[in-house]
Amino acid sequence: MKFVVFILSISLSFFGHAIVIRHDVTDEKYLAKQIDFPPLATFYIDGAHGTLIKPNWVLTAAHATFCVQTGSFIRLAGKTRKVSNVYVNPDYTPGKSHDIALIQLQDDVTDVSPAAVYTKSDELGKNIWFIGIGGTGTGLKGQTIDNAENKGMLRRAQNTIVAAQGPLIKFKFDQGENALPLEGVSGCGDSGGPAYIRNDYGYQLLGISSRPEGNFENIGEYGITEVYTRVSYFSAWINLVIEASPEDREKISLPKLTYLPAGVTEDILPMVCNDIGIKSDEN
Protein backbone atom coordinates (compact mmCIF):
# COMPACT_ATOMS: atom_id res chain seq x y z
CA MET A 1 0.00 0.00 0.00
CA LYS A 2 2.67 2.53 0.99
CA PHE A 3 4.67 1.69 -2.15
CA VAL A 4 1.64 2.23 -4.36
CA VAL A 5 0.79 5.53 -2.70
CA PHE A 6 4.40 6.66 -3.16
CA ILE A 7 4.37 5.77 -6.85
CA LEU A 8 1.00 7.45 -7.29
CA SER A 9 2.23 10.64 -5.65
CA ILE A 10 5.08 10.75 -8.15
CA SER A 11 2.82 10.22 -11.14
CA LEU A 12 0.11 12.67 -10.11
CA SER A 13 2.69 15.28 -9.09
CA PHE A 14 4.17 15.16 -12.57
CA PHE A 15 0.97 15.78 -14.47
CA GLY A 16 -1.72 16.24 -11.84
CA HIS A 17 -3.57 19.42 -11.08
CA ALA A 18 -5.49 20.75 -8.10
CA ILE A 19 -6.02 24.15 -6.50
CA VAL A 20 -3.46 26.41 -4.85
CA ILE A 21 -4.89 29.65 -3.47
CA ARG A 22 -3.97 33.24 -2.63
CA HIS A 23 -2.02 33.71 0.60
CA ASP A 24 -4.11 36.73 1.58
CA VAL A 25 -7.56 35.10 1.26
CA THR A 26 -8.83 32.53 3.76
CA ASP A 27 -9.11 28.93 2.64
CA GLU A 28 -12.78 28.85 3.66
CA LYS A 29 -13.68 31.17 0.79
CA TYR A 30 -12.32 28.65 -1.70
CA LEU A 31 -14.18 25.65 -0.31
CA ALA A 32 -16.78 24.25 -2.69
CA LYS A 33 -19.53 21.68 -2.98
CA GLN A 34 -20.61 19.40 -5.81
CA ILE A 35 -23.51 21.78 -6.51
CA ASP A 36 -20.97 24.43 -7.57
CA PHE A 37 -20.28 22.31 -10.66
CA PRO A 38 -22.69 19.34 -10.80
CA PRO A 39 -21.19 17.74 -13.97
CA LEU A 40 -17.87 17.09 -12.17
CA ALA A 41 -16.74 13.46 -12.28
CA THR A 42 -14.00 11.95 -10.11
CA PHE A 43 -11.93 8.95 -11.22
CA TYR A 44 -9.82 7.94 -8.22
CA ILE A 45 -10.09 8.10 -4.44
CA ASP A 46 -7.83 11.14 -4.19
CA GLY A 47 -8.21 12.95 -7.48
CA ALA A 48 -8.38 13.15 -11.28
CA HIS A 49 -11.55 14.52 -12.83
CA GLY A 50 -13.67 14.84 -15.91
CA THR A 51 -16.84 16.64 -17.00
CA LEU A 52 -20.16 15.17 -18.08
CA ILE A 53 -20.91 16.64 -21.53
CA LYS A 54 -23.64 14.23 -22.66
CA PRO A 55 -25.87 11.92 -20.59
CA ASN A 56 -23.37 9.07 -21.00
CA TRP A 57 -20.16 10.85 -22.02
CA VAL A 58 -17.41 12.36 -19.83
CA LEU A 59 -14.64 14.55 -21.25
CA THR A 60 -11.23 14.52 -19.56
CA ALA A 61 -7.46 14.65 -20.06
CA ALA A 62 -5.92 11.66 -21.80
CA HIS A 63 -3.27 11.17 -19.12
CA ALA A 64 -5.91 11.00 -16.38
CA THR A 65 -7.36 7.77 -17.81
CA PHE A 66 -4.47 5.46 -16.93
CA CYS A 67 -6.69 3.41 -14.59
CA VAL A 68 -10.02 4.00 -16.33
CA GLN A 69 -11.17 1.09 -18.46
CA THR A 70 -14.21 -0.94 -19.43
CA GLY A 71 -15.92 -2.13 -16.26
CA SER A 72 -14.27 0.32 -13.88
CA PHE A 73 -16.21 2.95 -11.94
CA ILE A 74 -16.11 6.71 -11.61
CA ARG A 75 -18.08 8.91 -9.23
CA LEU A 76 -20.46 11.64 -10.36
CA ALA A 77 -23.00 13.53 -8.25
CA GLY A 78 -22.35 11.25 -5.29
CA LYS A 79 -22.99 8.02 -7.19
CA THR A 80 -20.75 5.50 -8.91
CA ARG A 81 -21.14 5.13 -12.67
CA LYS A 82 -19.83 2.19 -14.67
CA VAL A 83 -17.47 2.79 -17.59
CA SER A 84 -18.27 1.24 -20.94
CA ASN A 85 -15.39 2.45 -23.14
CA VAL A 86 -12.47 4.87 -23.24
CA TYR A 87 -11.46 6.86 -26.33
CA VAL A 88 -8.08 8.61 -26.22
CA ASN A 89 -7.03 11.15 -28.81
CA PRO A 90 -4.48 9.34 -31.01
CA ASP A 91 -2.21 12.38 -31.24
CA TYR A 92 -1.75 12.81 -27.49
CA THR A 93 1.88 13.71 -26.72
CA PRO A 94 2.77 13.96 -23.01
CA GLY A 95 3.88 17.41 -21.93
CA LYS A 96 2.98 18.94 -25.28
CA SER A 97 -0.52 18.65 -26.71
CA HIS A 98 -3.75 16.76 -27.49
CA ASP A 99 -4.22 15.76 -23.86
CA ILE A 100 -7.87 14.81 -24.25
CA ALA A 101 -10.05 11.71 -24.01
CA LEU A 102 -13.70 10.67 -23.84
CA ILE A 103 -15.18 8.16 -21.42
CA GLN A 104 -18.42 6.45 -22.41
CA LEU A 105 -20.62 5.37 -19.52
CA GLN A 106 -22.68 2.20 -19.53
CA ASP A 107 -25.87 4.05 -18.58
CA ASP A 108 -27.18 7.57 -19.04
CA VAL A 109 -26.82 9.97 -16.12
CA THR A 110 -30.33 11.26 -15.51
CA ASP A 111 -29.85 13.27 -12.31
CA VAL A 112 -27.28 15.79 -13.62
CA SER A 113 -27.43 18.20 -16.55
CA PRO A 114 -24.30 17.97 -18.72
CA ALA A 115 -22.03 20.94 -19.36
CA ALA A 116 -21.86 22.26 -22.91
CA VAL A 117 -18.71 21.95 -25.01
CA TYR A 118 -17.50 25.47 -25.76
CA THR A 119 -17.12 25.96 -29.51
CA LYS A 120 -16.27 29.66 -29.93
CA SER A 121 -12.69 30.89 -30.36
CA ASP A 122 -13.04 33.96 -28.11
CA GLU A 123 -11.58 32.48 -24.91
CA LEU A 124 -8.79 35.05 -24.56
CA GLY A 125 -9.40 37.36 -21.60
CA LYS A 126 -12.28 35.39 -20.16
CA ASN A 127 -12.43 34.82 -16.40
CA ILE A 128 -12.93 31.12 -15.74
CA TRP A 129 -13.54 28.87 -12.75
CA PHE A 130 -11.94 25.54 -12.02
CA ILE A 131 -12.64 22.99 -9.30
CA GLY A 132 -11.14 19.85 -7.74
CA ILE A 133 -10.14 17.80 -4.70
CA GLY A 134 -6.37 17.65 -5.09
CA GLY A 135 -3.49 19.22 -3.18
CA THR A 136 -3.39 22.80 -1.95
CA GLY A 137 -1.25 25.57 -0.49
CA THR A 138 -0.73 29.27 -1.22
CA GLY A 139 1.10 31.20 -3.91
CA LEU A 140 3.92 32.14 -1.53
CA LYS A 141 5.22 28.58 -1.19
CA GLY A 142 3.18 26.69 -3.76
CA GLN A 143 1.58 23.37 -2.96
CA THR A 144 2.36 22.22 0.58
CA ILE A 145 -0.50 19.70 1.06
CA ASP A 146 -0.69 16.90 -1.49
CA ASN A 147 -3.85 15.31 -2.87
CA ALA A 148 -3.77 12.40 -0.41
CA GLU A 149 -3.44 14.76 2.57
CA ASN A 150 -6.29 16.90 1.29
CA LYS A 151 -8.65 13.94 1.85
CA GLY A 152 -11.23 14.85 -0.77
CA MET A 153 -11.77 18.49 0.21
CA LEU A 154 -13.29 20.27 -2.79
CA ARG A 155 -12.16 23.78 -3.75
CA ARG A 156 -12.78 26.12 -6.64
CA ALA A 157 -10.82 29.13 -7.86
CA GLN A 158 -10.76 31.76 -10.60
CA ASN A 159 -8.26 32.86 -13.21
CA THR A 160 -8.05 34.75 -16.48
CA ILE A 161 -7.14 33.16 -19.79
CA VAL A 162 -4.00 34.88 -21.10
CA ALA A 163 -3.41 32.71 -24.17
CA ALA A 164 -5.77 30.80 -26.44
CA GLN A 165 -4.00 29.48 -29.49
CA GLY A 166 -4.31 26.19 -31.33
CA PRO A 167 -4.99 23.26 -28.98
CA LEU A 168 -4.03 25.06 -25.75
CA ILE A 169 -5.28 27.74 -23.38
CA LYS A 170 -3.17 29.20 -20.57
CA PHE A 171 -3.56 31.28 -17.44
CA LYS A 172 -1.11 32.69 -14.88
CA PHE A 173 -1.13 32.88 -11.07
CA ASP A 174 -1.15 36.62 -10.31
CA GLN A 175 -0.98 38.33 -6.95
CA GLY A 176 -1.81 41.78 -5.62
CA GLU A 177 -3.93 44.15 -7.68
CA ASN A 178 -3.72 41.94 -10.77
CA ALA A 179 -5.32 38.97 -9.02
CA LEU A 180 -9.00 38.05 -9.07
CA PRO A 181 -10.81 37.83 -5.70
CA LEU A 182 -10.46 34.03 -5.65
CA GLU A 183 -7.35 33.77 -7.85
CA GLY A 184 -5.73 30.34 -7.95
CA VAL A 185 -3.94 27.76 -10.07
CA SER A 186 -3.40 24.04 -10.30
CA GLY A 187 -1.33 21.94 -7.95
CA CYS A 188 -1.28 18.11 -7.86
CA GLY A 189 -4.07 15.56 -8.09
CA ASP A 190 -6.86 16.91 -10.29
CA SER A 191 -5.82 16.25 -13.86
CA GLY A 192 -8.69 16.40 -16.33
CA GLY A 193 -10.65 18.90 -14.27
CA PRO A 194 -12.65 21.69 -15.93
CA ALA A 195 -12.03 25.31 -16.75
CA TYR A 196 -15.58 26.61 -17.06
CA ILE A 197 -17.95 29.54 -17.10
CA ARG A 198 -21.65 29.75 -16.34
CA ASN A 199 -24.06 31.86 -18.36
CA ASP A 200 -27.74 31.92 -19.32
CA TYR A 201 -27.25 28.63 -21.18
CA GLY A 202 -25.76 26.79 -18.21
CA TYR A 203 -22.22 25.54 -17.64
CA GLN A 204 -19.78 25.90 -20.54
CA LEU A 205 -16.59 23.82 -20.60
CA LEU A 206 -13.64 25.78 -22.02
CA GLY A 207 -10.62 23.80 -20.90
CA ILE A 208 -9.27 20.56 -19.41
CA SER A 209 -6.53 20.55 -16.79
CA SER A 210 -3.33 19.24 -18.39
CA ARG A 211 -0.04 20.51 -16.87
CA PRO A 212 2.01 23.41 -15.55
CA GLU A 213 4.26 25.16 -18.02
CA GLY A 214 8.00 24.89 -17.60
CA ASN A 215 9.59 24.01 -14.26
CA PHE A 216 7.68 21.43 -12.24
CA GLU A 217 9.54 22.39 -9.06
CA ASN A 218 7.52 25.58 -8.51
CA ILE A 219 4.01 24.13 -8.85
CA GLY A 220 1.48 26.54 -7.37
CA GLU A 221 3.82 29.46 -6.79
CA TYR A 222 2.94 32.98 -7.88
CA GLY A 223 3.90 33.60 -11.48
CA ILE A 224 3.47 30.03 -12.70
CA THR A 225 1.56 29.47 -15.94
CA GLU A 226 -0.95 26.64 -16.27
CA VAL A 227 -1.69 24.83 -19.53
CA TYR A 228 -5.15 23.45 -20.29
CA THR A 229 -6.43 21.58 -23.32
CA ARG A 230 -8.57 23.96 -25.40
CA VAL A 231 -11.97 22.33 -25.75
CA SER A 232 -13.14 24.45 -28.70
CA TYR A 233 -10.19 23.24 -30.79
CA PHE A 234 -11.28 19.63 -30.30
CA SER A 235 -15.04 20.12 -30.63
CA ALA A 236 -15.13 18.45 -34.06
CA TRP A 237 -13.19 15.41 -32.79
CA ILE A 238 -15.45 15.19 -29.74
CA ASN A 239 -18.57 15.16 -31.91
CA LEU A 240 -17.06 12.61 -34.30
CA VAL A 241 -16.31 10.17 -31.50
CA ILE A 242 -19.73 10.55 -29.90
CA GLU A 243 -21.68 10.25 -33.15
CA ALA A 244 -19.59 7.56 -34.85
CA SER A 245 -20.29 3.84 -34.86
CA PRO A 246 -18.13 1.68 -32.58
CA GLU A 247 -16.15 0.54 -35.62
CA ASP A 248 -15.47 4.09 -36.83
CA ARG A 249 -14.47 5.24 -33.35
CA GLU A 250 -11.52 2.88 -33.54
CA LYS A 251 -10.24 4.83 -36.56
CA ILE A 252 -10.15 8.19 -34.76
CA SER A 253 -9.17 7.22 -31.22
CA LEU A 254 -7.23 4.75 -29.09
CA PRO A 255 -8.91 2.39 -26.58
CA LYS A 256 -6.43 3.15 -23.80
CA LEU A 257 -3.56 5.39 -22.80
CA THR A 258 -0.30 4.65 -24.61
CA TYR A 259 1.94 6.65 -22.26
CA LEU A 260 1.66 5.80 -18.56
CA PRO A 261 2.30 8.53 -15.96
CA ALA A 262 5.83 8.91 -14.64
CA GLY A 263 6.70 6.23 -12.09
CA VAL A 264 3.94 3.83 -13.18
CA THR A 265 4.85 0.71 -15.19
CA GLU A 266 2.72 -2.02 -16.74
CA ASP A 267 3.89 -4.40 -14.01
CA ILE A 268 2.54 -2.34 -11.11
CA LEU A 269 -0.40 -0.76 -12.93
CA PRO A 270 -2.97 -3.36 -11.74
CA MET A 271 -1.86 -2.88 -8.12
CA VAL A 272 -1.99 0.91 -8.45
CA CYS A 273 -5.46 0.82 -10.01
CA ASN A 274 -6.80 -1.55 -7.38
CA ASP A 275 -5.45 0.72 -4.66
CA ILE A 276 -6.82 4.02 -5.97
CA GLY A 277 -9.83 2.92 -8.02
CA ILE A 278 -13.37 3.82 -7.02
CA LYS A 279 -15.43 0.84 -5.94
CA SER A 280 -19.07 0.37 -6.88
CA ASP A 281 -21.68 1.57 -4.39
CA GLU A 282 -23.18 -1.88 -4.60
CA ASN A 283 -20.09 -3.53 -3.09
For residue range 164-187, what is the model confidence (pLDDT) as tens digits? 999 999 999 999 999 999 999 876
Q: Give mean pLDDT, residues 82-103.
A: 97
Distance, in Å, from the CA atom of 84 to the CA atom of 69, rounded to the nearest integer, reads 8
Task: Give residue 16's pLDDT band: very low, low, confident or very high (50, 70, 90).
Answer: very low
For residue range 17-28, what is the model confidence (pLDDT) as tens digits? 458 889 999 999
User: What pLDDT is attached to residue 264?
Assistant: 85
Task: Give residue 34's pLDDT band: very low, low, confident or very high (50, 70, 90).
Answer: very high
Q: How far is CA 4 from CA 62, 153, 267, in A?
A: 21, 22, 12
User: What pLDDT is attached to residue 6?
Assistant: 44
Q: Percent of the chain, pLDDT > 70?
A: 87
The CA-to-CA distance between both ends of the chain, in Å, stands at 21
Distance, in Å, from the CA atom of 72 to the CA atom of 2, rounded to the nearest integer, reads 23
Q: Is the dihedral of CA 11, 184, 130, 33 positive or negative?
A: positive
User: What pLDDT is attached to residue 260?
Assistant: 87
Q: Give mean pLDDT, residues 35-57.
A: 94
Most confident of 90-104, 177-191, 201-215, 217-231: 90-104
Domain ranges of the chain: 2-276
Statement: residue 45 has pLDDT above 80: yes
Among candidate residues 6, 11, 7, 19, the one with its CA nearest the CA of residue 187: 19
Phi, psi of 212, deg, nearest 5:
-80, 155
Q: In what order do the strands lie in the sheet with 184-185?
A: 142-145, 136-138, 20-21, 184-185
Identify the residue with better confidence: 147 or 107: 107
Statement: residue 227 has pLDDT above 90: yes
Statement: residue 145 has pLDDT above 70: no
- At residue 96, what is the residue type? K
Task: Give residue 152's pLDDT band: very low, low, confident or very high (50, 70, 90).
Answer: low
User: What pLDDT is attached to residue 19?
Assistant: 80
For the residues of 71-135, what is the DSSP string, one character each? T-EEEETTEEEEEEEEEE-TT-BTTTB---EEEEESS---SSPPPEEP--S--TT-EEEEEESS-
In CATH, which of 2.40.10.10, 3.40.50.2300, 1.10.10.10, 3.40.50.150 is domain 2-276? 2.40.10.10
DSSP-derived pairing of the beta strands 202-212 and 116-117: parallel
